[in-house]
Amino acid sequence: MDHTDVIATITKAVRDAPGIQALFLSGSYGNGMADAYSDIDFVMVADDGASDAVAAIWREAVAQTGEIVLWWDRTTVPVLINAITEDWTRTDVIILKPEQMRGHTQSTLKVLFDHDGIYETLPEIKASPIADSKRFIYQVEEFIRILGLLHLAAGREEYINGVLGIFHLRNKLVDLLIAETDAPHRGGILHLNRLITDEQKALLVSMPPPVPERQAMIDAHLAYAAAFLPRARKRAEAIGAEWPERFEAVTWERLADTLGIERPY
C-alpha cells in the first residue's frame, strides 16, 4: 500500500469515530516536503486526548493498512504512538485535546478532516525563534568538556570510549551548522541534506573518521575542535552570548600538559 492509500485508509477509518474532532498531516507531509522515504506524521484531535479508547481506535485504523510489526503506544511521549507495518511504512500520531493545539500553525499542517474548524483558529506561521544564548553556551561548554576528556581516554588507553567522544563532538558540530543556516522545516534526523549548505557538507565530509587508536583518536578530537570552536565563537558574538574563556583556556592547558598538544587554530 503506497502512502497515499495509507493516508486515505486511516482517514476513512477515524473520520466518524466517536470523540474524534480532527485529523491533520504534519511533518514532511504537512509542509509539502515529503519524499519516498518519509514517514507519515499525523496530529489527531480527540475530546479526551490520548486515552486508551482513542489509542484503540488508532490501532484499528493503522491495522487496516497492513500487519503491525512495531507498536509503541505512548511509550516515549505520553501523547505519541509510533507504528511500523509489514512493508515498513512508518506512521506516527500525536493525539491532543483541542486546547493543546495552540502550539501548531497552519503552515505545518494539512487538513484531512476538521469537524469543528480547529485549523482556522491556528496562526498561519510560527514566529522565528529567538536564539537562546544560555542553551547555546551550554552546548559549547559540553563540547569543551568532552574535548577535555581526551586526556583521560588517552591516559587509560580507552580508545573505544574515545571514539564515542568523537561522535558526541560531531553531533555538536552538526547542531551548530544547522543553527547557522536557521533552516525552516527541520524535519527528522535523516533530513540533514536540506538543512546545511554545500560548504558545510564539505566540512563534515572532510572530518577524519573515528578510529579506536591513540593517535587517530587525538587527531579527530583536534580536527573537530578546529572546526567547531572558531565557528561557535562567531555565533556567540552574533547572539550576544558570553564565551566561556576560562574554561576553554584551562582545557587547552590540561591537554598541553598531559598530551603535549596545542590549540589547533
We report the CATH number of the domain holding residue 41 as 3.30.460.10
State which residues form the domain around 27.
Answer: 3-121
Question: In the chain, what are the helix, strand and coil shares in percent, each to the nearest 5?
Answer: 55, 15, 35
Q: Which three cell numbers stand for residue 256?
A: 598541553
**Do the Cβ atoms of 45 and 118 come closer than 8 Å?**
yes
- CA 81 to chain centroid, in Å, comes to 17
As a whole number of angstroms, the distance between CA 103 and CA 97 comes to: 12
Last residue of a domain, one of 121, 147, 164: 121
Residue 126 lies in a domain: no
pLDDT in tens, the chain (265 residues): 999 999 999 999 999 999 999 999 998 898 888 888 889 999 999 999 999 999 999 999 999 999 999 999 999 899 999 999 999 999 999 999 999 998 899 988 999 999 999 999 999 876 555 568 999 999 999 999 999 999 999 999 999 989 999 999 999 999 899 888 765 555 555 567 777 888 899 999 999 999 999 999 999 999 999 999 999 999 999 999 999 999 999 999 999 999 999 999 8
The confidence score (pLDDT) of residue 126 equals 66
CATH number at residue 199: 1.20.120
The confidence score (pLDDT) of residue 191 equals 64
Same domain, 111 and 151: no
Last residue of a domain, one of 121, 143, 170: 121
Same domain, 88 and 196: no
Residue 127 lies in a domain: no
Q: Count of domains in the chain?
A: 2
Same domain, 142 and 223: yes
The confidence score (pLDDT) of residue 184 equals 52
As a whole number of angstroms, the distance between CA 13 and CA 61 comes to: 5
Last residue of a domain, one of 121, 156, 179: 121
Q: pTM of this prediction?
A: 0.71
